Structures are given as structure tokens and as C-alpha cells.
Structure 1
């Protein structure tokens, strides 16, 4: 008798290959955005997203229809880490972040999910997420105005940059607000395409060269040129190439800086799993269990770090596509993972992505980093947190000022600061501060 598969059962079929590729298309803009912003290799990110998704499926026994790819929560620490310790040293910290996920999954397995809410309540997680977004605000403005991420030199004349960044930002916002069907799920990709297209028009019309001729760089180094887009890297890139994998190198300072940041996305993982469960009508918190989904996320992140890729997380865009297409079969995500791995070996793709002008990315970053901060605010609002209560006010205030202000502690063998310090301080304050007599 032929077995009848429920819509949510894992059922690998050749005819689902195109649908899987469509799921990757939905995730593509956000997936490659992280490596493009942080200096990592986009082809490596594609490979580790595919491998990470397959690892997640193995650990969760193919029960959850999610796709794992580059996490926005780690953009700030990766940008800082690559500047301080290089890619290899930063990967050591990201490998440890994946290890933290694994430890948390073990704690949940032993003590239940309540243990995380005890140590990481919204009053800690919310402001840490806000810090992750807000600490990057200057980088977004610098790139949107045509400068390097640290603002130290000009890459594109300011007037040109603001126009291109404005086009990318406007299209991203409008698609997210007014888009229908699949377009509503790919606002970032639409913004990148619009900004890139506008840049091509500027170059072809001669407007880029005209604005460049009248540009005054002031006291900053001037690395601008008469064209926004140079196809040289795309032309020189081979059609097929092994991604530029990078192995981690031990760095204790990177570990202590990055690991606390993983606390916030680890908690957000719960919301992601519950969201996809609401879409499919299945309780994934119970089966395969939140401890296994968290373990799968952690192992996927560790594998990514071992190869030089960004940490993985479940993608809400893909969950939205699952809801839109009613494609609940988890095997479709296997096809998406296979497509990502295949694309990772297309050298021309990485070369083409490297031609995207800085202002295009800067315009999207303005929305992206602000949205991360809003997610942190939403975490507090959904929890009904009373910020006027003295204990809550103290925790949130100290996390925000330490994180955004750049507080650092030099502990002789290691320097702890920024977002990582803010996360640790938040956890400690939540554990030691007493409730007032009026609570």
C-alpha cells in the first residue's frame, strides 16, 4: 500500500527542486548582505548557509521547514572583529558563539526552557538587541554618504552617494510596504537591484563623471572615481572556483567580545521556531523540541565559523514564503540548501556581488540597523515591561550606555567592551539587583 505523506512530512522529490531554488531566491538578498557588509566572502556564506541548513535538518530529523543563513545580529561584532583581529580571529569568537548555543541547548534539555527566561528575560535581551542595531548607525550613515565604514575616506562623491542610497532605501521601504506576493518577501533584494540599476544609469549617462569633477573631498583622502561600477573583478573572476574558506585562529579576546552577543539571537530563536510552527500548525517546541532546534542552530553556526562564514539563523523571509506558497514539506529546504552549495562554487557570482557600489549597501543599512533596534524595543513592549520601574530602568539604561557609548574594561589578558560587555552586564544586573519594595 502506497504511503500517504502529510503536508508537513519530509518527502524528498525531484519535482520540488525548482521550489527549493525559489526559497533560496527569497533569502538571497539578506544572505549575501551580511558578507558584503562585513568583508567576508559571499560564496563562503552561500556554502555555509547550505551546509548549515542540512546540518540543522539532520539534527531535527527533517521536521522543521526552515532555511538557515547569515545572521544580522552578528554584523556589528564581525565588522569590529575583522578590523581588530582579522577574519581568522573573528571566526574563533563566532565558533565559540555556536558553542554557546550548544551549551544552552543542553541546559534546556536538562532544566527545561524556563532556565533561559530566568537568565535572559526580555529586560536583558531587548536592550542588547537595540545596542546591536544602534552601534552600527554611524557605519550606515558613512556608507550612505559615500565614505568608508569608519568615515575616514571618500569612496563616492557625496551628492552621488546620497541619491543612490536614497533610491535603494526608498525601493526597499516601498516594496516592504506595498509589495504583493513574493515581492513582499524580497525587499532587500529589490533595493539592491534598484540601487545597482540607478548606478549603471548614472555611469552610462555621464552623470557620475560630471558630479565627480565638481566634488570637493575636503580634508579626507579621496578614493572616488568617475564611475560607480567597475566590472573588472567580475570579468577576472573564474566561472568555477572553490570558495575562499578561512579557518579560525585562537583569540580569547574575540571569544569574550562575541559570545555575550549570541545571547540575544539565541532567545530570538524561540520566537522563530514558534512562528514557523504557527504557519504549519505543528508544535516544533515539543517535537523535535526546542533543545534540538537550538542545538541544530548552534552546530550550523559552528560549522560556518570553521569555514569562514557568518553565523546562521532561521530566516523569517523564507518562513513567509512557506506561508505564502503553503509549501510545508521540509525537503524543499533541502533543495534550497543544495542550490546554495552549488551557487557557492560559481566564482563569477562573487565577482559580480563585489561590484555593488557602497552607497547601495549604505542605503539599505540605514533601514536594516534601525529595524534591529526596533526589534529590541518590540521585545520589551511585547513583554509588557514597565521601564519606569527603577530596577528595569537601571538595567536598560546601563546596557544602552555601556553598549552604545563603547565602555571597555581592560582585564590585563583581555579587553572586554562594546556589545559583549553590555550583554554580560545585563545578565549580571538582572541576577543581582533586588526588586524594589513597590514591585
Structure 2
């Protein structure tokens, strides 16, 4: 068996190109999170690479996975940045990483079944749904050419809908009809298609004509004759240190964001099982799910300590591993090194900053809808009868609290949104009696 197909760690220069290809597969999703949340994409690249290397140290280089920006935290990051600013939000994300670490030690003591007892699908499913649904208005606003909160126009509506439609359809068809590598990079292809469409609309004069005739109504008008401005790319240095941001203490941000780690922790378990099925090794036993969780948690806290989004295992890269049968974890070391090196290319961040808002909006429509569907599928696969009083109560309260914006002022801190929904779900699951939970009744209704 060649080094590439072996599951044993081997780090050789000849695998550098294959490692760069693995990063290419993850690139679109990796930079999408910082672009949507206002974080620095170069920092995200650095922390993805550094986090993957840290994960490999913790797991003794046994698991062929790549860690990068987690979609599950998009909603809390957007809310946190708008409410408390980036440094305070990083404090909450650092705490989320520590929550992973705590869970890893609980698994070490009580076994992996502990996860299923405390975080069953009836809790994790609706929490994941809340994460997707709470962002739906942001996706629609950006696809229509407005800011995420809908308060101002960035791109005329007609132009925005064309670009968003092209980005969305490209992403959908790439995931449906693509084969081989194409099927693994639908988000990247959607971004490229939207970007090229924007360039064509600028060159043909369509963008300028639409901007001249555009009526913003009562909203602020921040539109411009051109969708893409290359001036910032020319001004950006070729090489630059990423714009690292360090956390500042904020208890409210911690209590809001930390419960979000509930859903990714369960997702992590599934990802480790998946890559084990692909490579034919049981990574739940060796290096152990407790160690993979620990590595993920430490990588997430490291990312937050530098101003990057939380890390998670990437299913796109796992798909590439399956396609190429590249089971050697050393290849992921090369992917991580490539990410760290690209983080210091200043013009790369400038190029990413020129991507028009509707391009992101079109992809977000699919992305946030997909997150919601994952939550629904979590419940469906578990076979939960949602009309049973106990299940109905847990799911209903999580959804309404999360989507409706319920919040509590606890004197020194305000708890609400996804964080409150996650905490309430865990508490209800622990305290609600299960005496009659298998008897279908309608007494709650």
C-alpha cells in the first residue's frame, strides 16, 4: 500500500500538492464564514491551519481530517459582533471551545453514551433548526442587495437578484449534478460564478444603468455604479500579518454563545464516525472520541484567541479523502501548512473583500436552509414521535424561544437567542419526567 493510501501518518514533500488540493476543497466554505460574519478571512485561514496542526498533536496524527470555520456559529457570531463587538464575541467563542474540552473530559469519565443521554436528538435537532432559521432574514436581505439587517441598500434590487440567483443556482446544480472534485466544491463554484457575473454586469454597463435608475425608497442608499472595486486590491500589500483580534471578557457573550457548542459536539461525533467508515479505522476507540473532541475544543479556543471563527471537521474534505483514498493524516498537515502560508498573503484578503453582497446572499439562502434541514433530519432519523407530550414540549419551547427572540435579564447578564434555547432544551430534557413519554396523548394541546 502506498503512503497516500495508508492510514499511518507519513509527512513527505511529495504530498504537498495533494494537501493543497484538500485546502482548495475546503476553501469556499472556510472563507464564507468570516465574510458573512465580519471577521478577517486571512485570520480564519491561519486559525484553520494552526487548529488542524493542534488537533493532530492532540490526536497523535491518527485522524485524516481538516478543521476549519464552523457554520453552526454563524448566527451567534453575527449577533455578537453587532451587539458586543468582535473582541467580546471572541470571548464567547473561546468559552465554546472550553465547553468542547469539558465535554471531552465527561466522555473520558462516563463514556460516549453520556452525550446521547444529555444531548438527545430531541434537543440537538431543534437547536440546529434554530441556528438556520434565525438567519433566514439575513440571507434574504443580502440576496436582495441590502445590508444584513435590511436597513440600507448596497446593490440595486434587480442587479442583486440576478447575481444572487446565479450564485444560488450554480451552487445547487454543482452539488446535484457535479461529479468528482466538482461535487466537493459547490460553494466555491457558486462564489466564482457570482463574481464573474458581477464583472460582466459591470463591464457591460448594466450595473451603472441600474444604479442610476434605482429608487431606494425610505432606506439609505449605499449603492455604487460598479459592483466590484479593484482599488482596494491594488492598495493591499502582497504580504501582511493577519489582523489578529484578541478576546476581551464579556459574561453575556459567554452565556449566549457557549450553549451553541451543544450541536457541533454531536456533529463532531458523527464526523469522526464518517471518516472512520471511509478509512476503515475506528477512530472513536483510537485515538478516542474524547481526544478528538479535546483537539477540536482546543483548536476552537485557539482560533477565538486570535480572532478567528470556531473550528470543526469538514465533511467536504472527508469527501475528498473518500474520492482520492488519501487516508494518510500527513496530507492534512500539508493542507494546514498551506492555509497558514496563504494567511500572510495580504492581497488574498483584499480580493475576498471585493465579493459583492448578493453573491454571499444567494449562497446563504441554501446554506441556512440546509442547516435547518439538518436539524429536521436529526429528528427524523431518531424516529422521535413529536406529538408525545414530552417531545412536543421540548421541541416547541426550543423553537419558539430561539426564533422568537425570548430573553431573560439575570441582573448581571442577559440570556437569549440560540444560547437560551440550547440551555432550556438541555434542562427540560433532564427534568421532565419520562414516565408517560411513550404514551401518545394530546393533554398538552
User: Which residue of the partner structure matches residue 159 of structure 2?
Assistant: 160
User: Which residue of the partner structure matches residue 396 of structure 1?
Assistant: 395
Q: Deviations over 1:178-215 (max 9, x none)?
A: 00100000000000000000000000000011111111
How far apart, CA to CA, are the structure 2 residues paired with 1:225 and 1:247? 34
How far apart, CA to CA, are the structure 1 residues paired with 2:343 and 2:88? 23
Cα contact 1:257–1:421 (8 A) shared by 2: yes
User: Which residue of the partner structure matches residue 87 of structure 2?
Assistant: 88
Unaligned stretches of 5+ in structure 2? 439-445
User: Which residue of the partner structure matches residue 415 of structure 1?
Assistant: 414
Query: What SS does the corresponding residue of 1:216 show, helix, strand or coil?
Result: coil
User: Which residue of the partner structure matches residue 202 of structure 2?
Assistant: 203
How far apart, CA to CA, are the structure 1 residues paired with 2:358 and 2:91? 30
How far apart, CA to CA, are the structure 1 residues paired with 2:158 and 2:398? 36
How far apart, CA to CA, are the structure 2 residues paired with 1:114 and 1:355? 46
Cα contact 1:387–1:393 (8 A) shared by 2: yes
Tell me how large the CA RMSD over aligned residues is: 1.1
How far apart, CA to CA, are the structure 2 residues paired with 1:318 and 1:223? 38
Cα contact 1:67–1:315 (8 A) shared by 2: yes
Is 1:342 aligned to residue 335 of structure 2? no
User: Which residue of the partner structure matches residue 442 of structure 2?
Assistant: none
Structure-1-length-normalised TM-score: 0.98
Query: What SS does the corresponding residue of 2:436 show, helix, strand or coil?
Result: coil
Number of residue pairs matched by the alignment: 437
How far apart, CA to CA, are the structure 2 residues paired with 1:437 and 1:206? 67
User: Which residue of the partner structure matches residue 232 of structure 1?
Assistant: 231
**Taking structure 1 as reference, are residues 171 and 4 closer, same or farther at Cα in structure 2, changes over 3 Å only?**
closer
How far 1:233 sits from its partner (Å)? 1.3
Give runs of ≥4 in structure 1 deviating > 2 Å. Answer: 3-6, 435-438
Q: Deviations over 1:314-359 (max 9, x none)?
A: 0000000000001000000000000000000000000000000000
How far 1:6 sits from its partner (Å)? 7.1
User: Which residue of the partner structure matches residue 194 of structure 1?
Assistant: 193
Unaligned stretches of 5+ in structure 1? none
Query: What SS does the corresponding residue of 1:416 show, helix, strand or coil?
Result: strand
- Which residues in structure 2 correspond to 1:315-330 (within 5 Å)? 315-330=314-329
How far 1:437 sits from its partner (Å)? 2.8
Structure-2-length-normalised TM-score: 0.97
How far apart, CA to CA, are the structure 2 residues paired with 1:292 and 1:323? 23
Query: What SS does the corresponding residue of 1:250 show, helix, strand or coil?
Result: coil
User: Which residue of the partner structure matches residue 277 of structure 1?
Assistant: 276
How far apart, CA to CA, are the structure 2 residues paired with 1:235 and 1:385? 56
**Taking structure 1 as reference, are residues 135 and 255 closer, same or farther at Cα in structure 2, changes over 3 Å only?**
same
**Taking structure 1 as reference, are residues 403 and 199 closer, same or farther at Cα in structure 2, changes over 3 Å only?**
same
**Taking structure 1 as reference, are residues 183 and 415 closer, same or farther at Cα in structure 2, changes over 3 Å only?**
same
How far 1:435 sits from its partner (Å)? 2.3
Cα contact 2:118–2:426 (8 A) shared by 1: yes
Cα contact 1:403–1:419 (8 A) shared by 2: yes
Query: What SS does the corresponding residue of 1:313 show, helix, strand or coil?
Result: strand
How far apart, CA to CA, are the structure 1 residues paired with 2:206 and 2:4? 58
Query: What SS does the corresponding residue of 1:148 show, helix, strand or coil?
Result: coil
Q: Deviations over 1:238-285 (max 9, x none)?
A: 000000000100000000000001111011100000000000000000
How far 1:436 sits from its partner (Å)? 5.0
User: Which residue of the partner structure matches residue 289 of structure 1?
Assistant: 288
**Taking structure 1 as reference, are residues 232 and 405 closer, same or farther at Cα in structure 2, changes over 3 Å only?**
same
Q: Deviations over 1:360-417 (max 9, x none)?
A: 0000000000000000011111111111111101100000000000000011100000
Q: Deviations over 1:44-80 (max 9, x none)?
A: 0000000000000000000000000000000000000
User: Which residue of the partner structure matches residue 268 of structure 1?
Assistant: 267
User: Which residue of the partner structure matches residue 332 of structure 2?
Assistant: 333
How far apart, CA to CA, are the structure 2 residues paired with 1:142 and 1:242? 33
How far apart, CA to CA, are the structure 2 residues paired with 1:402 and 1:335? 43
Cα contact 1:10–1:63 (8 A) shared by 2: yes
How far 1:4 sits from its partner (Å)? 8.5
Query: What SS does the corresponding residue of 2:408 show, helix, strand or coil?
Result: strand
How far 1:222 sits from its partner (Å)? 0.3
Cα contact 1:390–1:436 (8 A) shared by 2: no
**Taking structure 1 as reference, are residues 4 and 311 closer, same or farther at Cα in structure 2, changes over 3 Å only?**
closer
